[in-house]
Structure 1
Amino acid sequence: MDKNLRQDAERIISDSIKAVLPDEAVLRALKDFSPGKGRVLLAAAGKAAWQMARAAVEALGHVDGGVVVTKYGHIMGEIPNVSCFEAGHPVPDSNSFAATDRVLSLVRGLSEDDNVLFLLSGGGSALFEKPLIPGDELQDITRQLLACGADITEINTIRKRLSAVKGGRFALACSPARVFSIVLSDIIGDPLDMIASGPACPDSSTCAQAMAIFEKYSLSLSPVALSLLGKETPKALNNVTTRITGSVRELCAAAADSCRRLGYQPVLLTDRLDCEAREAGRFLAAVLCSHVGDSRSLAFIVGGETVVHLTGSGLGGRNQELALAAALGISGINGAAVFSVGSDGTDGPTDAAGGYVDGDTLGELTAKGLVLSAVLKANDAYNGLKAVGGLIITGPTGTNVNDVSVALLRKAGE
């Protein structure tokens, strides 16, 4: 492993994540929050929910009650007058359902003078859930959607119709109280109704689109679930004000700034990456191959969210698979590295945020008796990268604004 390149990667990752922590983003949005004379109740859902809630309560000084539901391991302490719960992600579990019931109890029976400060971030689709079908059936459908290669918009189009809180239904539950929603975006293009499946946003998707997704991926649904796909979601809400704050664009800009400080010329390829993780990794490797021998040190940056089509039963995540897929293309190239991380600090059902490979990785895998193509076929990027020291582990970061991937090429002699 190239230790200097790995150090550069660690610095870029650290700088990028620090730039998109939600504290300042929440404070900016709260400037438009004017609660008036009624109660202020706080509800927060998503991977960044605890961090957002803490920032909001510190800024406001007091709330009249609140509930946070976030991913396991993401609660960092107590928040005054707020109950905090951890639950399952990316598949909802019984704790997701129980915590959501607590949120619904919090907002039940409110008046038009009351205010609900709703803090939403990525991961909320699994964490904030009250299913209209049995919980185990919803878990099975979620696994089907994750395994078939459906993108996040397709997944959430289905989820909305199987839920009592998604697709604007949570805002209806708060009515007639006013809802002020602060959203940390984790979806390409910031489609408000798709972020965490839009609990407080009118739904732009249609029953016809939901049925098309069902047919496209040959999903196995019960008659009840199938009938729910044909029931329309709210298309208008008159009690919600929303502010989107934070996005993958900011994450990519921060990565570019860090690369520049380290002596690389940054090139933003896209902040709307949306393809198979393996293909993205191979593409970044190909980009580096095209610039070998360049007179400058270069950094090619992409942001967005890839998908993994499961073909095996190994352990990993989309960022780990993206990085590992680049290993063959850059094998033997001095000064070349590819790394990819999730800004929330977790990638798939693992403790890693992502993965790192360089020109030495393929040889190191071979020396360990591992065949790259077999590891990828088994979707076992976690164990493949672990064997060669290629895992990137940050721990929960407190934010969630998509992924960033960087391909570095350091010119000879630097």
Structure 2
Amino acid sequence: MTSSPADSPRALLRRLFDAAVNAAQPNHCLPPHLPEPPKGRLVVIGAGKASAAMARAVESHWPGPLSGLVVTRYGYAVPCDRIEIVEAAHPVPDAAGLDAARRVMETVRGLTADDTVLCLMSGGGSALLALPLDGVTLEDKQAVSRALLRSGATISEINCVRRHLSAVKGGRLAAACHPARVVTLLISDVPGDHPGDIASGPTVADATTCADALAILDRFAIDGPPRVRAALVSGRGESVKPGDPRLARSETRMIATPAMALDAAAAVARAAGYPVHILGDAIEGEAKDVGTTLAGIALQVAKRDQPFAAPCVLLSGGETTVTVRGQGRGGRNVEFLLAFGVAVDGHPRIHALAADTDGVDGVEEIAGASLGPDSLRRGWALGLNPKDRLADNDGHGYFGALGDSLVTGPTLTNVNDFRAILIDRP
């Protein structure tokens, strides 16, 4: 069976997205991973779009005293009683993030071996903990961040550069906690769930080097401010390496991942009568190229019942990139979806949704969008050429004009991009 009239393809796809987001809510996934109470103090620190919700989950389930400070994105704060919540800018850092990072470092100084630091990290932490390396300014980091975000660099490449320009990332925060025990709870928003790429790994040893960061800037023809290049060329930005004794008592626990979110969405689709095929939870590449590729698979299913028979749902996650060359606002999910729509060209049985689980696609307060068989026709009726809008990196403008944007507000979590394609029965 397929969805009932009350559960249209568009409504079902939205339910799949909501299930994915709900699976990564801290109050559900965090409590089983809390450490045992220490002999000394429990100090809670953290950063990311989910960090405030994580802090509230800790307060709700921790049996003893605690204190701490976490920094989250503007609009993502939630009330806590014992953990201070501050807000800062994302994806480009600001002075509030710099001040918050400095205060976090001060919070963990002077601890003893009897103390435990509980570090709550999620996507967005790289920008929110913005304490530059000595000799590098906040303005330098802002300039490099903007250039990298527009360059088409992967999140792993961006975070490699960030680690080597930071006084917090690349294991430096854990080193500052020594000799206390450090337990880091991670909500992954990166392909492959590599701990060093989540918030650029403030409590994780880093095997990459200043030379690697410099090579990334050169690969994308980013000159960067002179102080940035000087820090990398001199090696002053070297991160904390594997085997450093200051990290001997530091451990990480992955509490939510893109794969878990996709599994939750798959369960909802199966309950609605659709076979589900998960294509991958770590898909990368240019968003428009991924859109075109997945459109080819969807068309093959619709026309040939290959490699899967229709009806079915195709799910995928990961983090694509957008190399902004036009005048549009970017947004990797809407860019994917517009390229997908151009390629399927209004096929009557293909529906899709693409959105970021944190509620923000690119720099917009818009999670993503939905696409149906009539989307391109409605766009043409408004005088919108989808190929022109794609070339201008204006997916947000296109779907906004159709009224098909997906706006969630802050979701208080982040397990990366979510893509669902529904191919209905003939």
Q: Same fold (TM over 0.5)?
A: yes
Letter in 1 for 2:17: I
CA distance, structure 1, for counterparts of residue 49 and residue 97 of structure 2: 13
Check 1:71–1:51 CA distance in 2 against 1; reply closer, same or farther (3 A cut).
Answer: same
CA distance, structure 1, for counterparts of residue 61 and residue 253 of structure 2: 16
Matched, 1:110 2:111: yes
Once the two structures are superposed, residues 182-236 of structure 1 have per-residue CA deviations (whole angstroms, 9 ceiling, x without a partner) of 1111111111111111000100212332222122111122332113223321112
Query: Which residue of structure 2 lines up, in the alignment, with residue 98 of structure 1?
Result: 99
1:305, 1:403 within 8 Å by CA — same for their partners in 2? yes
CA distance, structure 2, for counterparts of residue 348 and residue 50 of structure 1: 21
CA distance, structure 2, for counterparts of residue 216 and residue 75 of structure 1: 37
CA distance, structure 1, for counterparts of residue 50 and residue 346 of structure 2: 39
Query: Aligned to 1:343, which of 357, 365, 389?
Result: 357
Query: Which residue of structure 1 lines up, in the alignment, with residue 61 of structure 2?
Result: 59
Once the two structures are superposed, residues 301-335 of structure 1 have per-residue CA deviations (whole angstroms, 9 ceiling, x without a partner) of 11111001111232241111111111112223112
Query: Which residue of structure 1 lines up, in the alignment, with residue 265 of structure 2?
Result: 255
TM-score when normalising by structure 1: 0.95
Query: Which residue of structure 2 lines up, in the alignment, with residue 48 of structure 1?
Result: 50
SS at match of 1:328: helix
CA distance, structure 1, for counterparts of residue 223 and residue 97 of structure 2: 23
TM-score when normalising by structure 2: 0.92
CA distance, structure 2, for counterparts of residue 131 and residue 313 of structure 1: 31
1:285, 1:407 within 8 Å by CA — same for their partners in 2? no
Query: Aligned to 1:381, which of 382, 395, 418?
Result: 395
- Tell me, which stretches of 5 or more residues in structure 2 are unaligned? none
CA distance, structure 2, for counterparts of residue 363 and residue 240 of structure 1: 55
Letter in 2 for 1:109: G
- Tell me, which stretches of 5 or more residues in structure 1 are unaligned? none
Structure 1 stretch displaced more, 132-141 or 17-26: 17-26
Letter in 2 for 1:299: V
Letter in 1 for 2:61: A
Matched, 1:234 2:268: no
Query: Which residue of structure 2 lines up, in the alignment, with residue 68 of structure 1?
Result: 70
1:324, 1:356 within 8 Å by CA — same for their partners in 2? no
Letter in 1 for 2:22: K
Query: Which residue of structure 1 lines up, in the alignment, with residue 124 of structure 2?
Result: 123
How far is the alpha carbon of 1:263 from its aligned partner? Answer: 2.0
CA distance, structure 1, for counterparts of residue 209 and residue 131 of structure 2: 20
CA distance, structure 2, for counterparts of residue 359 and residue 73 of structure 1: 35
Once the two structures are superposed, residues 318-362 of structure 1 have per-residue CA deviations (whole angstroms, 9 ceiling, x without a partner) of 111111111112223112112111111221111211111122111
Query: Which residue of structure 1 lines up, in the alignment, with residue 23 of structure 2?
Result: 19
Once the two structures are superposed, residues 119-160 of structure 1 have per-residue CA deviations (whole angstroms, 9 ceiling, x without a partner) of 101110001120121111110100111111000110011001
1:96, 1:129 within 8 Å by CA — same for their partners in 2? yes
SS at match of 1:193: helix
Check 1:296–1:217 CA distance in 2 against 1; reply closer, same or farther (3 A cut).
Answer: closer
Check 1:402–1:44 CA distance in 2 against 1; reply closer, same or farther (3 A cut).
Answer: same
Query: Which residue of structure 1 lines up, in the alignment, with residue 198 of structure 2?
Result: 195
How far is the alpha carbon of 1:63 from its aligned partner? Answer: 4.0
Matched, 1:267 2:277: yes
CA distance, structure 2, for counterparts of residue 145 and residue 214 of structure 1: 8
% identical aligned pairs? 38
Query: Which residue of structure 1 lines up, in the alignment, with residue 334 of structure 2?
Result: 320
2:94, 2:130 within 8 Å by CA — same for their partners in 1? no
Query: Which residue of structure 1 lines up, in the alignment, with residue 180 of structure 2?
Result: 177
CA distance, structure 1, for counterparts of residue 178 and residue 87 of structure 2: 26
SS at match of 2:183: strand
SS at match of 2:21: helix
Length, aligned pairs only: 408
